[in-house]
Structure formats: C-alpha cells, structure tokens
Amino acid sequence: MIEVVDLLYKNPHELIKTPNQEESMKHLLLEEVINGATVNPQLQQDIYDLISVPEPDPENIIWRRDILDDFLSNPALFDDLRAILGIHDEISKGMRNASRGGGSAVVSKKELTGRDSQIFKMRSYAECIVRTIEMYEETAKIIKPRRLTSEAFCKIKDLVNREIRKSETMQLKALAKELSESMVTRILDSVENAAASKPLDTSFIISMDLNKYFCVEDVEMLELDSNPYNYKDPKKRAEFDSQSRIEYIGFDDIDDGQLRLLVEKSIARLCRQMEHIVSEMKKPFEKISRGIYFYRFGIGLDNKIRELGLPVCLPSIDRDDLRRFECSFACDFWLALNMKKKDRYCRPGDMVVPNDIYLGPTDGSLVITGKNNAGKTVFLRTIGVIQALAQAGLPVPAETCYISPVHGLYAYFTAMDTGNGRFEDEVKSISSMLDIVKEGDLVLLNEAFQSTAYEEAADVLCNVLAYAAASGFRCISVTHLPGVKEHMRELEGEFKLAYRAKFAEAAVDSEGNATHKIVVQRG
C-alpha cells in the first residue's frame, strides 16, 4: 500500500471547536488578522477554521512549522508543487470522464471509440495511469535538487523515488501506453478486418498480477498464435485475493457473440483494476492538494509581517513544559495592519512598540496594570494572537518565540452592556469559560468585573486567579482594580498555592506619558 503523507497532520485527530473558543477568537480579532494576511480571500474561512481551534499535539505543530520552513527557504517550491497538483487535477478529470463511459461493446469502429464504449473507458484509464506515473517522476525532479529538511518532505521524496524505481512501475507505464495507443489501434484494425472477412493470426492477452492492496506486482503482454475460440477464461472467482489476475483478450472475429462477451467482460475487469491502481497512486497527492493552501497562507503571512517592518520568526515548541510562553520583541500584528490601512506610506515597524514576554514553568498568572491608553490591551491581544499563530505552526511577529501548546485558548474583552447588567453578563460568560478550562490552558481577561464596586470586583478577580493557580491553567488579566496584588498574596498564603501570580505595569516616561512598554514587577 502506498504511504500517504498528510501536510497538515503527522498524527491525525479530530478537533472540536467550543462556543467559548469561537467567541474568544472574535475578542482577539483573529479573523481580521487572517484577512489582512490572506493572499486568496477564498481560503480565509479554511484558514480560520484551522487556526481558531488550538492544535494541542506538539508533533503536529512542529510538522507544520518545518514544512513551512522548507517553503520559505525554497521560494520556487510552492509554484513548482502547485504545477504538479495541476497534473493531479487533470488525472482526476480523466478519471471522472472514464467513469462516465463504459457501455456495451459494439461492432462499429465509431461506436467502439465513443464515450459510451468499454474501449474508450480502457483507454482513458490507461492514460490516467501514464499521467499518474509521470506525476511521480515530475515530483522527484522538483524535490531532488532542493535541500528540504522537514520530515514530511523527506517522506514524500522517499515515496516518489521508491515508486518510480520499481521495475513494476515502469512495466505498468509501458503497458498503459500500449493500452492507450497501439492496443486500441490493433483492436480497431481487428474490427475492420473482421468486417472485411480478413482473419487475423493472433489474439492478445494482457494480464496483471495484483496483491490484496491492489498494488501491481507483475505486468505482461502476451501475443498468442492460437485460436481464440479455444481460450477459456481462467478467472471464475467472485472476489479478488493475493493471486488476483485480470486479462484482456483481443479477437479476430468481432461477430462472434461468445468471444465478444468474453472480451467485454475482460475489458470491464481491466478497467476496474486500473481505476483502483490510479486511485491508490493518487492518494498522496490528494493529501498534498488539501494541505498546500495552508502553506500558501503561511508564506503570505511571513511576507506581510516583513512588509509591515515587524520582526518575524517561526515558533519553537516546548514538547514537555505545559506552561511556557516566551517572546522577545513581540509586536501586535493587528495594530500594525491598522496603521498601514490609515497611512499606506507609513512603516508600522518604526511605530509599534515591541515587548518581551516571559512566563516560565513555575510562574502563575500575570496581572497587568497601568493608566489608560498605555498599551495593556494591545499587549494582551499580542499574547493571544502569537499563541494562536504559533500553535498552528505559523510565523509570529517576534524576534524569538518559545511556547507550550494549550488545549484551550480563551479570551474575554470587555463587552457592551446587553441590558441585563454588564457585571452579571461578565460573570456568566467567564464562568462558562472556566467550566471547560483544563490544566495548561490559557485565559485572557481584559478589564473584567469593573462594572461593579472596586472591592467586590477585586475579590472576584482574585478568586479567578486563585482558581487558575489551583487548577493548573494560566490567566493573564488587564485591570484597573486597586488592591489586587495584596489580596492575591493573602490568598496564595492562605491556600498554599503552588503558582504565584506575577504583576506587570504599563510604563510611563518622566513626564507621565505612556511608553507602551510593559514592565514586569519584582516581588
């Protein structure tokens, strides 16, 4: 059985999007980020579906990141591979055309070659086989001269080289060419000679040996100097097995009903087997075709980040630690996009203030305070977007990035009053979020619980932070509430919490103006 390489998943599994995660992505403006970097608008929804649900398996994240690195290191690779997939599309079209053919065998040359004939079907499938093997050969040509280091491309390279080096594959290609070209001509010549009462001296048998996986093990064409009427169909079994054989018998008397029926059955059986062969050989390229659009977006995202003048890197993934988030010179991609929309001549990279973020395995939640318009919400959104992009294996707007995968990425940014009282709505929304949060997950809260009295709001927020420390997930919160640090230290001591909250402040200069730098406090 031919190995199939999935460009999106090393370890395929099902991901389920929760309502909370969907809402969280809206708060992080993920859709706007994707739209700002998508080369093809038709792909936006597919990309969004992939990124909006965090990929928890580090092997899959590394798998994607390394593939994208190969694309970025070999600029012409994407276009070359897309040309190969154009061949795949041609084969798929040929298969559809062939499947629509295949009626009863008839006597006239015109009818034998028509779309409803078994001859047309046989030739179409044979052409698909030839084109499929050529697709493998072309793929080997574009991969061989390039230095591709990802595990996926190494597997693809081994796959195509292994298949084209098989003697059986070359025999199959030669036979398919014979079936699609000279064999059809010989059959039609037989028809014309039969009509003219000119007997032929030979009949033809085309046979293939296939194993239980429908992989060709032996192919041959025989010309027999024998009376076709003496030939008996050796295949009477109803099911294929490891010794399965298929045959085609040529003929020198088209008017003989019994022989014609045998020919018709043989061709039909041959067509079924050829269809299986093409279907099996196409499978690796079907997976490549379904996954390549993701890397087109990754290339576009990398180009867009550079175009905006922001730092960019591919993420490093921590396979073991559940609580790592480290970035240097991290920037808000959405803010840079918005600047560019307002002034197309500006260079956002010169104006967007980068920040360093460090949350190690022993660090608890992070609370960010500071004056209005000092960059706190931007900082929070930067963390969320980088986590989402990095966990998809995509480039991030930072100089360096080390993250741990999370099962859930949740965000709540202050919402408009719905009429029930904002505090009540906030409590309901955040409570539903906390009901499904797991160890190692990441929760982002922006100005939560500030629609009630300061003391009550601070108490609720500290309880959330304490719950995070006890449950093993991390909460990063932006707040104006006073007394949060003191209250948290009391709770940490009272409940002997393993993780202590960190505190950061939006810095100001000597004149009290916001610098948009976020400084982590000590102690």
Q: Which of 44-53, 262-271, 322-331, 368-377 has the lowest mean pLDDT?
A: 262-271
Confirm whether 65 is domain-assigned: no
370 and 253 share a domain? no
Confirm whether 27 is domain-assigned: no
* Spatial CB neighbours of 60, under 8 Å, sequence gap ≥ 6: 8, 9, 10, 11, 393
- The arithmetic mean of pLDDT across residues 396-424, rounded, is 81
282 and 140 share a domain? yes
Predicted pLDDT of residue 114: 43
Domain termination residue (choose one: 231, 265, 291): 291
402 and 471 share a domain? yes
266 and 335 share a domain? no
Q: Is 133 exposed, middle or buried (0-12, 13-18, 19+ CB in 10 A)?
A: buried
43 and 113 share a domain? no
Question: How crowded is residue 242: how many other Cβ atoms within 10 Å of its Cβ?
Answer: 10
185 and 324 share a domain? no
45 and 105 share a domain? no
Question: Please, are residues 460 and 483 in contact by the beta-carbon 8 Å criterion?
Answer: no
Question: Please, are residues 325 and 441 in contact by the beta-carbon 8 Å criterion?
Answer: no
318 and 375 share a domain? yes
239 and 340 share a domain? no
146 and 243 share a domain? yes
Predicted pLDDT of residue 185: 62
Is pLDDT above 60 for 523?
no
Confirm whether 437 is domain-assigned: yes
Confirm whether 377 is domain-assigned: yes
Domain termination residue (choose one: 247, 262, 291): 291
Domain termination residue (choose one: 291, 319, 338): 291
Predicted pLDDT of residue 414: 76
Residue 42's domain spans which residues?
A: 33-52+308-520
Res. 286 pLDDT band, cuts 50 70 90: very high
Confirm whether 390 is domain-assigned: yes
98 and 215 share a domain? yes
Confirm whether 13 is domain-assigned: no
Confirm whether 481 is domain-assigned: yes
Dihedral sign for Cα 305, 306, 310, 311, please.
positive
Split into its structural domains, the chain has a count of 2
Is pLDDT above 90 for 216?
no
Is pLDDT above 50 for 416?
no
Res. 168 pLDDT band, cuts 50 70 90: confident
- Residue 361: give its domain's CATH number: 3.40.50.300
84 and 178 share a domain? yes
Confirm whether 7 is domain-assigned: no
